[in-house]
Amino acid sequence: MSLSSHTSQAPQHDTMRLHGRELMVESLRRFSPRALARNPVMAVVVVGTLVCALYTGLALVRGTSVWFSLSVTLILWATVLFANGAEALAESRGKAHAGSLRATKGQLKARRLDKGGREYLVPADDLRRGDQVRVRAGELIPADGEIIEGAGSINESAVTGESAPVLREAGTDSSGVNAGTKLLSDELVIEVSADPGESLLDRMIALVEGASRQKTPSELALSVLLSTLTLMFLIVVVTLVPMAEFIGVTPSPVMLVALLVCLIPTTIGGLLPAIGIAGMERAMRANLIAKSGKAVEIAGSIDTLLLDKTGTITLGDRKATEFSPCGGVAVAHLRDVAYQCSVDDPTPEGRSIVSLARDQGTQATLSTGADFLPFSASTRLSGVDLADGIRLRKGAPNAIAAFVEDNGGRLPDDYMRLVERISRDGATPLAVAEEDRLLGVIALSDVIKAGIAERFVQLREMGVKTVMVTGDNPLTAATIAAEAGVDDYIAEATPERKLEVIREEQAKGRLVAMMGDGTNDAPALAQADLGLAMNSGTQAAREAGNMVDLDSDPGKLLAAVEIGKQLLITRGALTTFSLANDVAKYFAILPAIFAASIPALGALDILGLHSPESAVLAAVVFNALVIPALIPFALRGVRFKASSATQLLRRNLLIYGLGGVLLPFPAIKLLDLIIAAFL
Tell me which residues are annotated as active site: 308
Q: Would the CA dihedral through 34, 35, 36, 41 be positive or negative?
A: positive
Closest CA to 679 of 599, 590, 612, 625: 612
Q: Would the CA dihedral through 394, 395, 397, 403 be positive or negative?
A: negative
d(CA 453, CA 460): 11
d(CA 232, CA 626): 23
Provide the strand spans (E) within 535-649: 547-549
Query: What's the CA dihedral at 136, 141, 145, 146 to 10 degrees?
Result: 30
DSSP H or E segment with residue 321: strand 319-325
Are 605 and 595 in contact by the 8 Å Cβ rule? The answer is: yes
Closest CA to 355 of 341, 367, 331, 339: 339
Are 142 and 181 in contact by the 8 Å Cβ rule? The answer is: no
Closest CA to 312 of 175, 178, 456, 500: 456
Angle between helices 253-263 and 556-594 (to 10 degrees): 150
Are 476 and 427 in contact by the 8 Å Cβ rule? The answer is: yes
Instruction: Give the residues across from 469 on adjacent strands.
Output: 308, 490
Angle between helices 200-208 and 67-106 (to 10 degrees): 160
Q: How many CB atoms lie under 10 A from the CB of residue 105?
A: 21
How many angstroms separate the most distant Cα atoms in the chain?
A: 112
DSSP H or E segment with residue 88: helix 67-106
d(CA 110, CA 131): 11
d(CA 72, CA 637): 31
DSSP 116-131: T--EEEEEGGG--TT-
d(CA 345, CA 348): 8
Q: How many CB atoms lie under 10 A from the CB of residue 72?
A: 28
Closest CA to 339 of 304, 271, 386: 386
d(CA 181, CA 156): 5
Could you give phi then psi for residue 102, rounded to 5 degrees? -65, -40
Could you give phi then psi for residue 449, rounded to 5 degrees? -65, 140
User: Helix (H, G, I), strand (E, B), or coil: what is residue 45?
Assistant: helix
Buried/exposed 186-215: b ≥16 CB within 10 Å, e otherwise? eebbbbbbbbeeebbbbbbbebbbbeebeb
User: Helix (H, G, I), strand (E, B), or coil: what is residue 203?
Assistant: helix
What DSSP character marks residue 663?
T
CB neighbour list of residue 346: distance below 8 Å, 6 or more residues apart: 169, 172
What DSSP character marks residue 205?
H
What DSSP character marks residue 378?
T
User: Helix (H, G, I), strand (E, B), or coil: what is residue 437?
Assistant: strand
